[in-house]
């Protein structure tokens, strides 16, 4: 198999840098609300769930966390009064994480900080139509990484965008009621880009 082309290396390097930087940047923005980005993700999942509760195994799948890590974070949220553990009515062997009234208020207070940070750091840098493109490109990658749809907490997904042909993904948040850049343009350089390899042979002589 041939090695990666330069443009492929650039794409992967930028994606890797994004995945490294975004959680830390969100942590800083959410510090004022007293939650981390991972805690926010848990609160969001519980807020969207039926009766504001999910089995710990389902919550771990939604967040791609090990049960050990999830248990530690849920314990921290319990200390804050945002979550309680409760027996699962359908399966006595399972345990639910349940969002409390205080947890609902904490999520409501942290959501504006999260949304403003995401808009400023991600969405404001995208042109018309590029949000839908980002959703579709992300789904294409997720389909390879998660072919068994482990991130699903319900049987189906929901459209990532408002368009009729939007692709549904198991990781999508629940939709709320009521609610292009030139693709041929030369992409900007990025500090995360690998250095281009020196041209050889005929290309170098040109």
Q: Are residues 135 and 119 in the same domain?
A: no
Q: What is the mean pLDDT of each run of 10 residues along the chain (206 residues)?
A: 90 94 95 95 94 93 90 97 94 92 97 96 91 90 81 41 44 51 44 54 50
Same structural domain for residues 91 and 32?
A: yes
Specify if 186 maps to a domain.
no
DSSP H/E element including 18: helix 6-30
17 and 116 share one domain: yes
Residues 153 and 56 reside in one and the same domain: no
Sequence-separated (6 or more) residues with CB below 8 Å from residue 34: 80, 106, 110
Question: Could you give the C-alpha distances from 7 to 118, 156, 172, in angstroms and in order?
Answer: 27, 35, 29
Domain match, 52 and 25 both: yes
Residues 99 and 3 in one domain: yes
35 and 108 inside one domain: yes
Which residue carries 């939709």 as its tokens?
175
Determine, yes or no, domain membership for 134: yes
Q: Could you tell me which of 175, 171, 118 has the C-alpha nearest to residue 145?
A: 171
> Any idea what the CATH number is for the domain that residue 81 is in?
1.10.10.10
* Residue 181 located in a structural domain: no
d(CA 117, CA 54): 27
Are 2 and 103 found together in one domain? yes
- Residue 81 within any structural domain of the chain: yes
Clarify whether residues 64 and 144 are in a common domain. Answer: no
Q: What is the pLDDT of residue 153?
A: 33
Q: Where does a domain end: 76, 99, 125?
A: 125
Question: What pLDDT is stored for residue 111 in this prediction?
Answer: 97
d(CA 34, CA 199): 51
**What residues make up the domain containing 20?**
1-125
**Beta-ladder partners of 98:** 53, 84
Query: What pLDDT is attached to residue 119?
Result: 95
Contact between residue 172 and residue 139 where contact means Cβ atoms under 8 Å apart: no
102 in the same domain as 11: yes
Residue 180 within any structural domain of the chain: no
pLDDT of 69 reads: 95
* Helix (H) / strand (E) containing 204: helix 201-205
Q: Are residues 105 and 140 in the same domain?
A: no
The span from the CA of 104 to the CA of 83, in Å, is 9
Could you tell me if 92 and 136 lie in one domain?
no
Dig out the tokens for 37 from the structure: 């980005």
Task: Give the predicted TM-score (pTM) of the model.
Answer: 0.72
Do 83 and 74 form a contact (C-beta atoms < 8 A)? Answer: yes
Count of the separate structural domains present in the chain = 2
């Amino acid at each position: 198999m041939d090695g990666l082309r330069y443009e492929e290396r650039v794409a992967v390097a930028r994606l890797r840098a994004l995945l490294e930087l975004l959680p830390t940047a969100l942590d800083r923005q959410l510090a004022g609300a007293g939650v981390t980005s991972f805690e926010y993700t848990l609160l969001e999942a519980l807020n969207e769930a039926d009766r504001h509760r999910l089995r710990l195994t389902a919550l771990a799948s939604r967040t791609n966390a090990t049960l050990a890590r999830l248990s530690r974070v849920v314990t921290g949220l319990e200390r804050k009064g945002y979550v309680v553990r409760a027996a699962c009515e359908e399966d006595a062997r399972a345990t639910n994480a349940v969002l409390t009234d205080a947890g609902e208020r904490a999520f409501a207070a942290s959501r504006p900080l999260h949304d403003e940070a995401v808009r400023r750091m991600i969405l404001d840098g995208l042109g018309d139509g590029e949000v839908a493109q980002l959703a579709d490109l992300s789904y294409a990658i997720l389909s390879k990484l998660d072919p068994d749809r482990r991130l699903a907490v319900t049987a189906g997904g929901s459209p990532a965008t408002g368009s009729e042909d939007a692709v549904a993904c198991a990781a999508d948040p629940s939709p709320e009621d009521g609610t292009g850049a030139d693709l041929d343009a030369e992409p900007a350089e990025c500090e995360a880009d690998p250095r281009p390899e020196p041209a050889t042979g005929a290309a170098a002589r040109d």
